[in-house]
Amino acid sequence: MKADQTVTLNLPATADYVDIVRLNLYGIASKMGFSYEDIEDMKVAVSEACNNSVLYAYGQEGGLVEVIFGVNGEELTITVKDEGVSFSLPQEKSDASTLHDKELHDVEIGGLGFYLMQALMDDVSVASESGKGTQVILTKRLTRSEEKV
């Protein structure tokens, strides 16, 4: 695939559509040359990000989730955006914010799911703003296997 290409999906914020995101991820990441293991890791991370939008952003109202796959050389960036309710964590759970010295708004994204995304991806950033929704950006860099010399 050429550098600096994007694929954008606008999907209903329901669990039924998360598989479509995973299928698109598989196609794009395969063409870029990612290993099966890296693709599986990315599928788990993007599913977690999408599920957060489905479960928390809109409640029972429904809404849209926008997923943008950005191909830039040997880097794949997956942005998951919703315009639903931003996250708020009950005060008694605030001690969870000390994990990896993250701020409270980072922990609010599905709690430990955020740390799962961090473990599986090279970079993870979250922006959640009241009245404007949430944006999760997942980045994975292509690493060439030394075995194929």
83 DSSP assignment: -
Tell me: pLDDT of 105 over 60. Answer: no
Q: Using the structure block, give the residue that is written with the tokens 């430990």.
A: 112
| Mean pLDDT on 80-104 | 54
CATH number for the domain that contains residue 17: 3.30.565.10
Cβ(30)–Cβ(42) under 8 Å? no
111 bridge partner residues: none
Domain that holds residue 16: 5-148
Q: What is the pTM of this model?
A: 0.78
Alpha carbons within 13 A on the beta-carbon side of 12: 7
Cβ(46)–Cβ(22) under 8 Å? yes
Q: How high is the pLDDT of residue 2?
A: 58
pLDDT band at 101 (very low <50, low <70, confident <90, very high): low
Tell me: pLDDT of 94 over 70. Answer: no
Q: What is the pLDDT of residues 22-53, one digit of tens each?
A: 999 999 999 999 999 999 999 999 999 998 88
pLDDT band at 83 (very low <50, low <70, confident <90, very high): confident
The helix or strand, by DSSP H or E, that contains position 36, with its residue range, turns out to be helix 36-52
pLDDT band at 109 (very low <50, low <70, confident <90, very high): very low
Tell me: pLDDT of 78 over 50. Answer: yes
Q: Give the count of domains, the chain.
A: 1
